[in-house]
Structure 1
């Protein structure tokens, strides 16, 4: 698979990046700025699309293996939200709703109006909020390692769970991706966003989602416990839980093929034959 094309897109007053594995839409050029009328897909029926959204402090990079597997059979988009990865930092803290609005606006500029939305960790909150804002655009919702588990309602408890996960259940490559992105994010922006994450009522908001929901977790994930994940799936109007054995919170990196199969099976999309190399951007 060739490397995804990066689009720098302004939406809702903020700049972010979208990494695209598909034929570039008319009117947009890779690695260039796109205005609000950046153009949509060439004529014809929309192809199946999956959109991947990262969690707090990180970027598209730890979604790279999953992106590569999915992109074998469906148009795949990975978002770097404003303030994360190599995107410029906004001048104020963004709410979950702000991030959701950016995701929907950026994808609209790319002509992606109907898609499966996949969030990881805090990205599950952005995904839920996007599904509430524009439910007609979200076919299915996949929540990987959702937060915040009521057993870990404090920042200290979250930090302990993440530390335990990184020590015992993550691969060296997953830890390297996450920690280098944390350094790039910086403590100030991370902590501001953390307060937003801790205050979002995930368990309440999911009850308003009309799209089918798959809650997906690594079976050893200490951040998104099994009881919490099961309860979250049960609170969705049409929810189910699936666990991937032998891995922790960053399930999409360590078990990309299994996670891709779970997503495509749930969404009724064509499955890939196997893994591909992680993309670099």
Structure 2
């Protein structure tokens, strides 16, 4: 992990980076966690994508190892953190991948800083406005947690404890209010929506709506639940590579797996 200071906002972000194959045409993936979480539950997806290109997994301000910011917990503020961070990580537009509330951060970043995002990937995107009460979200999350892989659940519980209830609740309010579906109408980047087939938090009808609102939107449903990127990391990475390759500029296919020696 390395600690990066964002000079415009005076915020601190911790980033786990893997160089990948190192070829100039290789893609750059940036992975963004959800509410209360850190880069740690993204490690499986990070390692799988690193076969293809450079990967950066972030701990945004207030989460994981990054200190809490002094001002604001709005989705827009977090998008501006990412807007400041992405040019520090890559000279080219990135494949921006967000999970759960991270899908909101990624969506707003693609709206506010379109030149920085080549492809947008939303995994387990929230929040369905028909299920946007605190009670419904808590019940859905509880149903999900009971059936997630043990290793993933342990990471989630540890990160929630590190986040703390006050900060979690402070970020929960903007998460429930943000209309991901409506903001996707203003995103120019091709957008892939991924969900676990048995995800009670990000449900099928909501996934269909997100993909329908997005530019060149596609819904990919994989076996799994809300942590599908953890339980099915290889399939999730393959879906991201295939979608990004289909909309890659020019005749080259830099998102292909490297040839075997």
Q: Which residue of 2 aligns with 1:175?
A: 153
Instruction: Map 1:200-215 onto structure 2 (within 5 A).
Output: 200-215=178-193
Secondary structure (helix, strand or coil) at the match of 2:120 reads strand
Residue 146 of structure 1 is aligned with which of 108, 125, 128? 125
Residue 17 of structure 2 is aligned with which of 6, 15, 20? 20
C-alpha separation in 1, matches of 2:240 and 2:186: 21
- The answer to whether residue 140 in structure 2 is matched with residue 161 in structure 1 is yes
- CA deviations over 1:171-228 (Å, ceiling 9, x no partner): 0001000010000000000000000111112121011011111100000000000001
Instruction: Map 1:202-241 onto structure 2 (within 5 A).
Output: 202-241=180-219
The number of residues matched between the two structures is: 247
C-alpha separation in 2, matches of 1:229 and 1:85: 28
Residue 59 of structure 1 is aligned with which of 9, 21, 38? 38
Secondary structure (helix, strand or coil) at the match of 1:261 reads helix
Q: Which residue of 2 aligns with 1:113?
A: 92
CA contact (8 A) 1:96 1:196 kept: yes
Residue 270 of structure 1 is aligned with which of 252, 256, 260? 256
Q: Compared with structure 1, are the counterparts of its residues 94 and 272 closer, same or farther at alpha carbon in structure 2 (3 Å cutoff)?
A: farther
Following TM superposition, by how much is the alpha carbon of 1:107 offset from its aligned partner in structure 2, in angstroms?
A: 2.2
Secondary structure (helix, strand or coil) at the match of 2:3 reads strand
Secondary structure (helix, strand or coil) at the match of 1:237 reads coil
- CA deviations over 1:217-242 (Å, ceiling 9, x no partner): 00000000000110110011210100
Secondary structure (helix, strand or coil) at the match of 1:76 reads strand
- CA deviations over 1:135-157 (Å, ceiling 9, x no partner): 12211110000000123110110
Residue 162 of structure 2 is aligned with which of 147, 159, 184? 184
Q: Which runs of 5+ in 1 are unaligned?
A: 1-5, 24-40, 274-281
Instruction: Map 1:65-80 onto structure 2 (within 5 A).
Output: 65-80=44-59
Q: Compared with structure 1, are the counterparts of its residues 184 and 272 closer, same or farther at alpha carbon in structure 2 (3 Å cutoff)?
A: farther
Following TM superposition, by how much is the alpha carbon of 1:113 offset from its aligned partner in structure 2, in angstroms?
A: 3.3
- The answer to whether residue 236 in structure 2 is matched with residue 254 in structure 1 is no
Q: Which runs of 5+ in 2 are unaligned?
A: 246-254
CA contact (8 A) 1:261 1:272 kept: no
C-alpha separation in 2, matches of 1:258 and 1:270: 14
Structure-2-length-normalised TM-score: 0.90
C-alpha separation in 1, matches of 2:140 and 2:42: 21
Residue 242 of structure 1 is aligned with which of 210, 213, 220? 220
Following TM superposition, by how much is the alpha carbon of 1:46 offset from its aligned partner in structure 2, in angstroms?
A: 5.8
Secondary structure (helix, strand or coil) at the match of 1:157 reads helix
